[in-house]
Chain A
Amino acid sequence: MISSTLPLDIIIVILSMLPAATLVRFRCVCRSWKELIRDPVFIKEHMRNRASKGTRYLLHVKLEHSIDRTFRFLNDETFERSLEIRLPLELYWKSFSIVGSCNGLLCLTVAVDFGTTIYLCNPFVRTYKTINPPSEQSNVKFSLGFGYYDVTNDYKIVRIASVMDDDMDSTFQYKVVMASKIEVYSMMTNSWKSIEVDYFPWGWIERKSEALINNSIHWKAVYRSRDEDIAVILAFHMGKEVFYQIDQPDFEADGDDLMEHIGVFKGDLALFAFHLTDNYPWHEKCHLWVMKEYGVVSSWTKLYSIRVDGGVVSPIIFTNNDEIIYENGELELSVCRLDSNAVTPLGVDNQGYLSLVTYVDSLVMLNG
């Protein structure tokens, strides 16, 4: 027998190291454990623990054209399948797109209804809720972002509506007029509100943000002045609820026809300049730029240059082990080591449409 019963503070330390699913089961132990496990302070502590010491996964969801409706979690180092979790029944027949993943919460939107039907879901505790944006708008294109603001322990979704102009310009592209409406959802208040901005010179905003860092959500976008359009990174600070812009690194010298992908590489804002498969100049390289000091444009550093045979259809995610996972010209998922340029298949079939996000299990939204 234990010579003395463990005091509550030690029990809390131990429990905060357990997987979310185990804690959900241990709500049955007694009333005080149930209260502890739903306590926001404990949930936050558990989340921090899991994020730093717990298991990280790459989440692989087969989307459209698939009857395999499960979240598949891959070990983030070996890429072996670690576990599978069924989708909540209510989401089963929907084809959705992952807007973002943060502290165990996923923000999903129905693919055909991008930005109109939005869900928050915690697959590890199998809870989800529908977040209905307040306004219906037609002839608009939505961009979404999802993130966590640590100061207030709140989760926010940002929706930017850009009006599509029916007229085509001389290059036969639809003109996108400036964003017409910006709305922010807060999980804490469980409500949407409109954000008033006097000046919003950005257009062509990426549909969903791939980069959550420094309490800000980032999208690839274009700064539109009267004379020219400049490719930039648009950022939204979740505390101040303001937009600002970060200049991209000057990668013009890296070659022609480079596309950019915005992401987070080992905790820093990163830009991957790559060649699309279609117009791939075989002799040229792709480059990873990292902003060493957040917000300081002069700190953009070209960290790696790699050659990707066959080009890239879409970069998907950077791993913590100096790798990039991308979809190649054969529409297969590949992993490229950025230091050695070694390319290996991910070993996961890329059927239909796919999202890979890093994911840590948590108790967030256990209480709905």
Chain B
Amino acid sequence: MAAETGTPTTLTLKSNDDELFSVAESAAILSVTIRNMVEDGCAGGVIPLDNVDGKTLASVITYMNGISAIPADEEKKKSYRDKFLSDKDFETLADMVLAANYLNMSCLMDAVSAKIAQVMEKKSVGWVRRKFGIENDYTPEEEAAVKEEHKWTFEGVETDDDN
């Protein structure tokens, strides 16, 4: 471990599309999944991360490096997370929440989930179905009836054509 030897240790992570990434161990162990591998001594060579693609892993590593460079200041960490996620589209966020879940990174998981919720808040039912890949299994009559029960919740919803 870095703290014991005094020299920073670098880990090599491999995405499921065979891209290799170098990352400081101190930043990578924000992931409990990676930390467990390190503690079990499986981190000697390349750590394969079968559930994360290269694009997403690159983004997660940017986050790992960024957040671990911030000293223990929850306000600053929060503003870093907000800024980090601010320009991400829904698809990227969805990939990141899956990666954060797989890597067991609770701080990233919470932040991305909250960001997705924030993006969804004013969206239409149609938008949600498309983005989540959900098939509408209501009959038109049933859907109309469910909608009618709480019609007012459809006020102020964004129009459906924003991709």
13 residue pairs A–B, Cβ–Cβ below 8 Å: A3-B53, A3-B95, A13-B113, A14-B117, A22-B121, A22-B153, A24-B153, A25-B153, A25-B157, A27-B149, A31-B138, A33-B134, A53-B114
Binding site secondary structure of chain B: helix
Q: Which residues of A contact B (CB under 8 A)?
A: 1-6, 10-11, 13-15, 17-19, 21-22, 24-31, 33-34, 53, 125-126
A10 touches B134 (CB 8 A): no
Q: Does B72 contact A (CB under 8 A)?
A: no
Known contacts A2-B133, A6-B132, A14-B116; is-contact A28 B94 (Cβ 8 Å): no
List of A residues within 8 angstroms of B120 by Cβ: 14, 18, 22
> A28 touching B147 by the CB < 8 A rule?
yes
**Chain B residues within CB distance 8 Å of chain A:** 53, 91, 94-95, 97-98, 101, 109, 113-114, 116-117, 120-122, 125, 128-129, 131-138, 143, 146-147, 149-150, 152-154, 157
Write the chain B residue with the least CB distance to A125. B150
Contact B137 A30 (CB under 8 A): yes
Q: Closest 6 A-B residue pairs measured CB to CB?
A: A17-B117, A25-B153, A28-B125, A24-B153, A2-B94, A24-B150
CB distance from A221 to the nearest CB of B (A): 41
A-B contacts besides A2-B94, A17-B117, 4 pairs, CB < 8 Å: A3-B53, A14-B116, A29-B125, A29-B136
B residues within 8 A CB of A6? 94, 97-98, 132
Write out the residue numbers on chain A whose beta carbons fall within 8 Å of the beta carbon of B109: 13
A25 and B94 contact, Cβ closer than 8 Å, known pairs A13-B113, A18-B117, A30-B138: no
- Which of B113, B135, B146, B147 contacts A14, CB < 8 Å? B113
Across the interface, which residues of B come within 8 angstroms of A21, CB to CB?
153
- The distance from the CB of A368 to the nearest CB of chain B, in whole angstroms, is 10
Closest residue of B by beta carbon distance from A33: B134
> What CA separation (Å) do A18 and B44 show in the bound complex?
42
Distance between Cα atoms of A210 and B132 in the complex (Å): 44
In the assembled complex, the CB of A220 is this many whole angstroms from the nearest CB of chain B, namely 38
Q: Tell me the bound Cα distance from A31 to B95 in angstroms.
A: 25
